[in-house]
């Protein structure tokens, strides 16, 4: 088996308005809302770095400059922490920074859908296979979902790889859903995909989660700018057209997923991450055990 080209670049679409979290997101991007003590978007970046990603392309919109500032040096703050000998806090701040020259930003000037957001990054990607991470889908587990997907990508010899999670039939109409083929452990052959199917027409209970490894040919399909579900340019539709041209697999990652674009999911993520942290888990368990609901 020929070794596939490495996955070095990742696209992070962060142009959404975050209307479900108003008024909190009136002045603060939803991707900057904290899960315990880190913004949601930082978890996605750390997951990507763990998977070997070297270049990060953020697709932003108006009012998202705070994300750019977050992944840059804050010299006054760093100097203050150093002066006050807050070594732990300073180290944490510096560890979160990507390497110089590894981060790029481009604008999605109109909200035309996820497919369009990914298309906006085409010139940064070139002809390489690449990853897409949707920060709203928070993965809690080690190794992270993308690292597990990269391993599957290498094991099967390349192609497209997406993350999948089993959900109840009552929820399946909210997601892109895969039609599965052969199953080998946690790696599933993808025969087809449907965006937000009605329950009676769903090909499985496996929903597509916000992690993708895609060949550059997906940009040719996105160039069509065909509108799909919701009148938007859907990434799922372009991926569907790659099936049969490229081998296509899904990975049921060994981790827990939390939808941080949903208020309840966001609260669940905070509790799950808090309980996974040795520094605060004992105190949090005590609070939860004595909580009056």
Closest by CA position to 180, among listed 154, 206, 217, 142: 206
Domain ranges for the chain: 9-289
Cα(209)–Cα(259) distance, rounded to whole angstroms?
10
* pLDDT band for position 293 (cuts 50, 70, 90): low
CA-to-CA distance for 172 and 167, rounded, in angstroms?
A: 6
Place of tokens 């180290």: 91
What is the structure's pLDDT at 152? 96
pLDDT, average across residues 32-45: 95
Give the chain's mean pLDDT.
Answer: 91
9-289 CATH pick, 3.90.550.10, 3.40.50.300, 1.25.10.10, 3.40.50.2300: 3.90.550.10
Quote the CA–CA distance of 105 and 71 in Å, as a whole number: 11
pLDDT band of 62, cuts 50, 70, 90: confident
């Amino acid at each position: 088996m020929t070794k596939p080209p490495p996955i070095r670049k990742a696209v992070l679409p962060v142009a959404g308005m975050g209307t479900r979290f108003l008024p909190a997101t009136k002045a603060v991007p939803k991707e900057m809302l904290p899960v315990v003590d880190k913004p949601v978007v930082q978890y996605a970046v750390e997951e990507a770095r763990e998977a070997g990603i070297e270049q990060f392309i953020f697709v932003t919109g108006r009012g998202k400059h705070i994300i750019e500032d977050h992944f840059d040096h804050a010299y006054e703050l760093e100097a203050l922490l150093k002066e006050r000998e807050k070594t732990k806090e300073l180290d944490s701040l510096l560890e979160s920074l990507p390497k110089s020259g590894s981060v790029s930003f481009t604008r999605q000037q109109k909200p035309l859908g996820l497919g369009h957001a990914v298309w906006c990054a085409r010139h940064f990607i070139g002809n390489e296979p690449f990853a897409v991470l949707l920060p709203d889908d928070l993965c809690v587990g080690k190794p992270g979902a993308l690292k597990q997907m990269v391993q599957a990508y290498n094991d099967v010899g390349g192609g497209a790889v997406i993350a999948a999670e089993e959900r109840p039939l009552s929820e399946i109409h909210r997601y892109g859903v895969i039609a599965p083929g052969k199953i080998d452990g946690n790696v599933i052959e993808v025969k087809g995909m449907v965006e937000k199917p009605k329950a009676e027409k769903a090909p499985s209970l496996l929903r597509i989660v916000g992690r993708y490894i895609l060949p550059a040919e997906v940009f040719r399909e996105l160039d069509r700018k065909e509108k799909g579900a919701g009148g938007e340019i859907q990434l799922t539709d372009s991926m569907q057209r790659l099936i049969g041209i490229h081998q296509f697999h899904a990975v049921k990652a060994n981790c827990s997923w939390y939808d941080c674009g949903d208020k309840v999911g966001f609260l669940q993520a905070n509790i799950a991450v808090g309980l996974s942290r040795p520094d605060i888990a004992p105190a949090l368990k005590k609070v939860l055990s004595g909580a009056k609901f």
